[in-house]
Copies of this chain bind each other. A is one copy, B any other.
């Protein structure tokens, strides 16, 4: 995502390169946010002495050096809207990426999606073993909450509690884990488009929404600002998921770093399968535009978040 500018996949679709300068600035901002979260993850996952070293090696394997860092970008850019200190924002970004990494490690397990490839390299249970992968996912989740609750994350303990509670709500049975359960139960069955939309809102949307809201929590922003960012995150997440499903259906394993076509092979319910790629892409574009509309009151400081909304539906990997 942070390398070459991708060509727009559909000439009638939104074009993040319509303004080459804005496009270059977005790529710069993505690189910069990814660099900061990488450094934070490295610092927050030090290797211990003793045989438990292997566990932390697996945690680092899963969390470091990969991924688009979309969630980390959202945390850091939303925090920047309120002038939050970079170190605090990077800690929260790292916590969200640890939580996200844990979910990927567990989703890839043989009993779940049984995927051997993640971010272009062997998935954690292939690189280590299944038991170590289960434990590494577990401990990444734990560490995410530990980092949020730590003093260095915010001087006000109420802000830290709100971060813990909001991340837990986004990722537990009423959020990501609940969505994953619905997804598993849906394999081979037919869901309606509203059911698929709800599934995806839980499975991936809530965590993306939390990432966009996190800056407002860190910035002790008024409720209306937090709600606007939550709305942005919700619509962005929905657009992102459709774009991801389009990539799975149309992309290659080389482009995405994941096994291509596996949703269709698994009989997974996606809007792409239901609506066809054209209508699905149009819906993703509508959602991306709607996401940007939530940012109307934020002025030019929110330009990177606006550019991201266009980018997620145009990306090729």
State in angstroms the CA–CA spacing of A139 and B134 once bound together. Answer: 14
Residue of B48, B52, B145, B182 near A52 (CB, 8 A) is: B182
* A164: chain B residues within 8 A (beta carbon): 145-146, 148-149, 161, 164
Which among A65-73, A169-177, A276-284, A303-311 touches the partner chain?
A: A169-177
Indicate whether A24 reaches chain B with its CB closer than 8 angstroms.
no
Given A134-B134, A138-B106, A139-B177, CB of A149 within 8 Å of CB of B172: no
State in angstroms the CA–CA spacing of A165 and B180 once bound together. Answer: 27
Indicate whether A54 reaches chain B with its CB closer than 8 angstroms.
yes
Please name the residue on chain B nearest to A113 by beta carbon: B131
B52 touches A173 (CB 8 A): yes
Indicate whether A274 reaches chain B with its CB closer than 8 angstroms.
no
Indicate whether A51 reaches chain B with its CB closer than 8 angstroms.
yes
B165 touches A157 (CB 8 A): no
Number of copies: 2
Main secondary structure of the interface of A (DSSP, over half): helix
Given A52-B181, A202-B52, CB of A173 within 8 Å of CB of B134: no
* A180: chain B residues within 8 A (beta carbon): 135
- A contact residues, total (Cβ < 8 Å): 55
Residue of B52, B141, B186 near A138 (CB, 8 A) is: B141
B55 touches A173 (CB 8 A): yes
Indicate whether A185 reaches chain B with its CB closer than 8 angstroms.
yes
B181 touches A168 (CB 8 A): no
Indicate whether A109 reaches chain B with its CB closer than 8 angstroms.
yes
Tell me the smallest distance from the CB of A209 to a CB of chain B, in Å: 16
Enumerate 8 A-B pairs (CB-CB under 8 Å) in ascending A order: A48-B173, A52-B179, A52-B202, A111-B134, A132-B184, A135-B180, A142-B172, A143-B173
Indicate whether A59 reaches chain B with its CB closer than 8 angstroms.
yes
A145 touches B143 (CB 8 A): no
